[in-house]
Amino acid sequence: MDIVRQESEAPRPESPRRRRFIARGAVVSLAAASGAGVSTGSAQAATPDNLPPNIPQWMREPGTGFLNPAYGLPSPFEKTVLRKLPDQPSPFPTATRTPLQSLFGSTTPNGLFFERHHAGVPAIDPAQHRLLLHGLVERPLLLSMKDLLRFPAVSRSHFIECSGNSMAEFKAPGKGSVQDIHGLLSGAEWTGVRLADVLREAGLLPASRWILAEGADAAAMTRSIPLAKALDDALLVYGQNGEMLRPEQGYPLRLLLPGFEGNMNIKWLRRLKVGDAPFQTREETAKYTDLMPDGTARQFTFQMGVKSVITAPSARQVLDGHGFREISGLAWSGQGRIVRVEVSIDGGRQWQAAALDGPVQSRALTRFRFPWVWSGQEAILQSRAVDEAGNVQPTRAALIASDGQNSVYHYNAIQSWKVASNGEVSNVHV
Amino acid sequence: MDIVRQESEAPRPESPRRRRFIARGAVVSLAAASGAGVSTGSAQAATPDNLPPNIPQWMREPGTGFLNPAYGLPSPFEKTVLRKLPDQPSPFPTATRTPLQSLFGSTTPNGLFFERHHAGVPAIDPAQHRLLLHGLVERPLLLSMKDLLRFPAVSRSHFIECSGNSMAEFKAPGKGSVQDIHGLLSGAEWTGVRLADVLREAGLLPASRWILAEGADAAAMTRSIPLAKALDDALLVYGQNGEMLRPEQGYPLRLLLPGFEGNMNIKWLRRLKVGDAPFQTREETAKYTDLMPDGTARQFTFQMGVKSVITAPSARQVLDGHGFREISGLAWSGQGRIVRVEVSIDGGRQWQAAALDGPVQSRALTRFRFPWVWSGQEAILQSRAVDEAGNVQPTRAALIASDGQNSVYHYNAIQSWKVASNGEVSNVHV
């Protein structure tokens, strides 16, 4: 079986006409190339090509030796590609958002991975950190990081999404960018230990059904985890995109529950207590429950729904000209692999399959692409994801019809971006 | 077809005995857990488990709000995990090496990706940067970054290795760490444009066979690329692990030739000239040719060989106790996918298959793992990789028998680490 990166059978740009990707201005005479300007001349301007091109300043003298030899940083020209606090100032900000509009592929750089804290970021000395495993087990364990690093390791790519991501869209279309609206979402390659392996060391007692997970932050962030998930694909992770976890992602140890809502992936993990029932913590009673139209609340809505969003073009961007451009975005599901993403450029009347970047992995960000030639007319761009369990991303109307508008969690409706005839892109509810 | 991460049929730790991964000291009575110390008590010390564990200082007060909200950095406790200049001081250092011994999975964080420069790092304004495509084409093109960003994009994971990586091992075993010896190796998810797509826009003339690629550094680093590679899997990349290329990796544009020696992946790419023969640049005549024992030199040895190295345990580490530990390392090949890695713990007499982390991708770093129980006796650890083209990583003796000791490039022999009875690990030639 060949599992090198595959591209799906979805459309490549329709016709193999030449120079359909670029504006005619990019075709130059060499006379223009050897000077500073870019000709707007046509392909007919064939000229001798033995002239050297213009030599930029940065070729005239040696560059800096090593910018940051020990640990590198992005180019100063990328200084606007940053995580972002909410626009509304707060004395106690609790989240930063990932700049989805500026990123490529399916990896979120560690420096741009979104943050959500309940009591700030604790400064944990990994040599002092311990994980206590107790409760309904044969042998309580107190594990150091050194102990955990000696277990067999696994590396897997998974997304994490805050269950409150895009919550404001339940009410009205937000004015912000895709970062503001959907930026509580990131993905990484995680490395750690199977929770099942650690539980086996402790020996589960027959009555065990749930596990309390507690963080070592001042909030002692605490959630109940069903044992079935713990024994399935749960990991105790210490690695993120090849290096140790970042402080704001739980350094030195985090629970990873692939596909479950972000807050359950307990950061700074210090304690696992095995019990026979959910522990009914504050974060699963007063918070993180979903209020339905009939006044009841859903509890333990662990899995994130199937969802996708177009990141380019997206709100607050302005298209800089007509012609070919690629529509690109991310799709993900808490219930498995993405099997299909469809794109509409007319507000949902017609749909066409997008190409998926491979390898497509379970409960991981999947990049989709769709070729588009913008003629300059108004358009409504949408994407719709389908996962391997058969879940289809709902329209906003369908989501509200079933769940109402009181739940601030698990908003996964189709996102609509309106492209105006002047190229401005904005968030609309259609 | 399910292509979620697969683990090969290679051995899991042999027997399912309990508590085989951790030292007995990790099993605690809760009395110990509630204090500061870790008991060395046995599993029999069952006690009530309703005592709260010790509350560390970092839970007693809120953490910092946001450490680096805009662009995050590693924990201060990870300050020793850094790229490294050579031990021998130089007025003109030209390389930093990746800390392979400290990394997980198959991704190299951008901040730790190895560097090799020929004239420092140019500070390029992406708005001013242009790529000139000329020579044997119908239409010369001068492309801005904006032009290139409008082409269809692809994202692919590939390693880059300096062809001089581990060159000193041709002569004698180096005294350094795996970072010092093999650290001119890194891997990333790259995003960019197929070079074939751009060449199609320009229109290749019938005589075209080779392409000159030139960098916009003060060295004007220049190499000849066979057209077949350019039309196969070559990319013009602007993205690295989800964000824009780092300055030291060629910001804003780099040629990526998957599996070819590092220096050919021209950074700060400014010019592609299509010709009918190799251009015989300095970097492929005076440099980057391989001197053979008979006095002739191999030229255009593009592909990196099949290679692997154990990163843990590795030289300069000291095993901190007997018992279970995982042997882990990286394998890669310039000729395709890794299909098998074998590990020997007795200096190459017996070999056993290691597990491969999936998805295994072509010309990409592949993490392998092998369970090992160290009894405290001296051991010689080796790994041997096999790629899908059937290439087998050679022993050092076999490599020298065929290529001699004058070539400083393409050293891909099996690495041997000696574990002494006191736990010290060192580099040996066996």
Shortest distance between the Cα of B293 and any Cα of chain A, in A, equals 36
A254 contacts chain B (CB < 8 A): no
The pLDDT-based confidence of B48 (bands split at 50, 70, 90) is: very low
Shortest distance between the Cα of B379 and any Cα of chain A, in A, equals 18
Shortest distance between the Cα of A139 and any Cα of chain B, in A, equals 6
List chain B residues with CB under 8 Å of A200: 18
Q: What is the pLDDT of residue A27?
A: 53
**Residue from A15, A28, A58 to probe the interface with B (highest B Cβ count within 10 Å):** A58
Asked if residue B40 has pLDDT above 90, the reply is: no
Which residues in chain A (119-138) have CB-CB distances under 8 A to chain B? 119-126, 128-130, 132, 134-135, 138
Residues B198 and B261 in one domain: yes
Pairwise CB contact (< 8 Å): A71 & B75: no
From CA B24, how far away is CA B74, in angstroms rounded?
32
Q: What is the pLDDT of residue A189?
A: 97
Q: What is the pLDDT of residue B391?
A: 98
**Residue from B59, B190, B199, B211 to probe the interface with A (highest A Cβ count within 10 Å):** B59
Residues A283 and A168 in one domain: yes
**CB of A269 within 8 A of CB of A131?**
yes
Pairwise CB contact (< 8 Å): A66 & B140: no
From CA B119, how far away is CA A295, in angstroms rounded?
68
In terms of CA atoms, which chain B residue is nearest residue A90? Answer: B65
Pairwise CB contact (< 8 Å): B29 & A56: no
Asked if residue A188 has pLDDT above 80, the reply is: yes
From CA A148, how far away is CA B35, in angstroms rounded?
20
Question: Looking at residues A8-26, what average pLDDT do you find?
Answer: 47
Report the candidate in A9, A12, A6, A188 with the shortest Cα–Cα distance to residue A103.
A188
Residue scoring higher pLDDT (A235 or A44): A235
In a domain, B217, yes or no: yes
Question: Looking at residues A352-375, what average pLDDT do you find?
Answer: 97
B109 contacts chain A (CB < 8 A): yes
Pairwise CB contact (< 8 Å): A69 & B115: yes
Asked if residue B242 has pLDDT above 90, the reply is: yes
List chain B residues with CB under 8 Å of A73: 71, 111, 246
Neighbours of B44 (CB within 10 A): 8
The CA-based angle B122-B125-B131, given to 5 degrees, is: 85
Residues A195 and A316 in one domain: no
Pairwise CB contact (< 8 Å): B75 & A244: yes
Residues B280 and B313 in one domain: no
Q: What is the pLDDT of residue A34?
A: 35
Task: Scan for tokens 């210490």, then name that residue.
Answer: A238
Pairwise CB contact (< 8 Å): A242 & B126: no
**Residue from A22, A237, A319 to probe the interface with B (highest B Cβ count within 10 Å):** A22
From CA A297, how far away is CA A97, in angstroms rounded?
28
From CA A275, how far away is CA B47, in angstroms rounded?
16
Asked if residue B51 has pLDDT above 80, the reply is: no
From CA A207, how far away is CA A275, in angstroms rounded?
8
Pairwise CB contact (< 8 Å): B359 & A357: no
Q: What is the pLDDT of residue B67?
A: 65
Report the candidate in B330, B318, B424 with the shortest Cα–Cα distance to residue B383.
B330
**CB of A353 within 8 A of CB of A342?**
yes
Residues A108 and A233 in one domain: yes
A286 contacts chain B (CB < 8 A): no
List chain A residues with CB under 8 Å of B245: 75
Query: Which of A230-234, A264-268, B85-89, B171-175 has the lowest average pLDDT?
Result: B85-89
Domain count, chain A: 3
For chain B, the three-class secondary structure string (H helix, E strand, C coil) is CCCCCCECCCCCCCCCCCCCCCCHHHECCHHHHHCCCCCCCCCCCCCCCCCCCCCCHHHCCCCECCCCCCCCCCCHHHCCCCCECCCCCCCCCCEEECCHHHCCCCCCCHHHCCEECCCCECCCCCCCCEEEEEECECCCEEEEHHHHHCCCCEEEEEEEECCCCCHHHHCCCCCCCHHHHHCCEEEEEEEEEEHHHHHHHHCECCCCCEEEEEECCCCCCEEEEEHHHHHHCCEEEEEECCEECCHHHCCCCEEECCCECHHHCCCCEEEEEEECCCCCCHHHCCCCCEECCCCCEECCCCECCCEEEEEECCCCCECCCCEEEEEEEEEECCCCCEEEEEEECECCCCCEECEEECCCCCCCCEEEEEEEEECCCCEEEEEEEEECCCCECCCHHHHHHHHCCCCCCCCCCCCEEEECCCCEEEEECC
Asked if residue B155 has pLDDT above 90, the reply is: yes
**Residue from A38, A139, A270 to probe the interface with B (highest B Cβ count within 10 Å):** A139
**Residue from B121, B133, B194 to probe the interface with A (highest A Cβ count within 10 Å):** B121
- Give the model confidence (pLDDT) of B250-300 as tens digits: 999 999 999 999 999 999 999 999 999 999 999 999 899 999 999 999 999
Pairwise CB contact (< 8 Å): A3 & B359: yes
Residues B202 and B101 in one domain: yes
**Residue from A14, A27, A38, A75 to probe the interface with B (highest B Cβ count within 10 Å):** A75
**CB of A239 within 8 A of CB of A245?**
yes
* Token pair recorded at residue B73: 């950095």
The answer for B46, left when phi > 0, alpha when psi is -120 to 50, beta otherwise, is: beta
In terms of CA atoms, which chain B residue is nearest residue A71? Answer: B111
Task: Scan for tokens 């041709």, then name that residue.
Answer: B170
Q: What is the mean pLDDT of chain B?
A: 88
Asked if residue B29 has pLDDT above 50, the reply is: no
In a domain, B109, yes or no: yes
Select from B251, B281, B298 the last residue of a domain.
B298
Q: Helix, strand, or coil here: A65?
A: coil
A371 backbone dihedrals φ, ψ, rounded to 5°: -80, 140
Task: Scan for tokens 């298209």, then name that residue.
Answer: A319
Residues A36 and A134 in one domain: no
Q: What is the pLDDT of residue A33?
A: 37
Buried b (16+ CB within 10 A) or exposed e, B54-80: bebebbeebbeebbbbebbbbbebbee
Report the candidate in A352, A350, A349, A394 with the shortest Cα–Cα distance to residue A371.
A352
Select from B298, B322, B344 the last residue of a domain.
B298
From CA B341, how far away is CA B10, in angstroms rounded?
10
For A4-15, the three-class secondary structure string (H helix, E strand, C coil) is CCCECCCCCCCC
The pLDDT-based confidence of A44 (bands split at 50, 70, 90) is: very low
Given B63, B113, B157, which is nearest A218 (Cβ)?
B63
In a domain, B88, yes or no: no
In terms of CA atoms, which chain A residue is nearest residue B147? Answer: A22
In a domain, B324, yes or no: yes
- Give the model confidence (pLDDT) of B307-360 as tens digits: 999 999 999 999 988 999 999 999 999 999 999 999 999 999 999 999 999 999
A105 HSE (CA, 13 A, CB side): 28
Q: What is the pLDDT of residue B20?
A: 62
B30 backbone dihedrals φ, ψ, rounded to 5°: -65, -25
Burial zone of B313 (CB within 10 Å; 0-12 exposed, 13-18 middle, 19+ buried): buried
The CA-based angle A50-A51-A53, given to 5 degrees, is: 125
Which residues in chain A (176-235) have CB-CB distances under 8 A to chain B? 189-191, 197, 200-201, 203, 216-218, 220
Residue range of the domain that includes B349: 307-428
Residues B194 and B278 in one domain: yes
From CA B347, how far away is CA B413, in angstroms rounded?
14
Residues B363 and B264 in one domain: no
From CA A272, how far away is CA A268, in angstroms rounded?
12
In terms of CA atoms, which chain B residue is nearest residue A94? Answer: B65
A237 HSE (CA, 13 A, CB side): 33
- Give the model confidence (pLDDT) of A336-352 as tens digits: 999 999 999 999 999 99
In a domain, B9, yes or no: no
Pairwise CB contact (< 8 Å): B104 & A71: no
Q: What is the pLDDT of residue A32?
A: 38
Asked if residue B6 has pLDDT above 60, the reply is: no
List chain B residues with CB under 8 Å of A135: 49
Q: What is the mean pLDDT of chain A?
A: 88
Query: Which of A37-51, A202-216, A244-258, A292-306 has the lowest average pLDDT?
Result: A37-51
By DSSP bridging, strand A297-298 and strand A307-312 are unpaired
In a domain, A102, yes or no: yes
In a domain, A319, yes or no: yes
DSSP state of A402: H
Residues A399 and A421 in one domain: yes
For B82-95, the three-class secondary structure string (H helix, E strand, C coil) is CCECCCCCCCCCCE
Which residues in chain B (59-88) have CB-CB distances under 8 A to chain A? 59-78, 81-83, 85
Task: Scan for tokens 């008991």, then name that residue.
Answer: B39
In a domain, B22, yes or no: no
From CA A73, how far away is CA B68, in angstroms rounded?
13
Chain A to chain B Cβ contacts (< 8 Å) = 433
Sheet holding B269-275, edge to edge: B141-144, B130-135, B269-275, B210-215, B222-226
Pairwise CB contact (< 8 Å): A140 & B96: no
B292 contacts chain A (CB < 8 A): no
Q: What is the pLDDT of residue B397?
A: 97
A259 HSE (CA, 13 A, CB side): 20
From CA B272, how far away is CA A377, in angstroms rounded?
36
Q: What is the pLDDT of residue A51?
A: 46
Residues B392 and B334 in one domain: yes
Select from A272, A297, A322 the last residue of a domain.
A297
From CA B78, how far away is CA B190, in angstroms rounded?
26
Write the CATH number for B130: 3.90.420.10
Residue scoring higher pLDDT (B48 or B78): B78
Which residues in chain B (298-337) have CB-CB distances under 8 A to chain A? 320, 323-326, 328, 337
Question: For residue A149, what is the enclosing H or E element?
Answer: helix A145-149
Task: Scan for tokens 């005839």, then name that residue.
Answer: A421
In terms of CA atoms, which chain A residue is nearest residue B72? Answer: A111
DSSP state of A260: B
CA B189 to chain centre: 12
Shortest distance between the Cα of A104 and any Cα of chain B, in A, equals 5
CA A355 to chain centre: 18
Sequence-distant (≥ 6) Cβ neighbours of residue B159 within 8 angstroms: B185, B186, B187, B259, B332, B363, B364, B365
Write the CATH number for A327: 2.60.40.650
Burial zone of B214 (CB within 10 Å; 0-12 exposed, 13-18 middle, 19+ buried): buried
Q: What is the pLDDT of residue B15?
A: 39
Q: What is the pLDDT of residue B13?
A: 39
- Give the model confidence (pLDDT) of B373-415 as tens digits: 999 999 999 999 999 999 999 999 999 999 999 989 999 999 9
Pairwise CB contact (< 8 Å): B130 & A155: no
- Give the model confidence (pLDDT) of B53-109 as tens digits: 577 787 877 777 666 679 999 999 999 999 998 887 777 788 999 999 999 999 999
Residues B256 and B319 in one domain: no
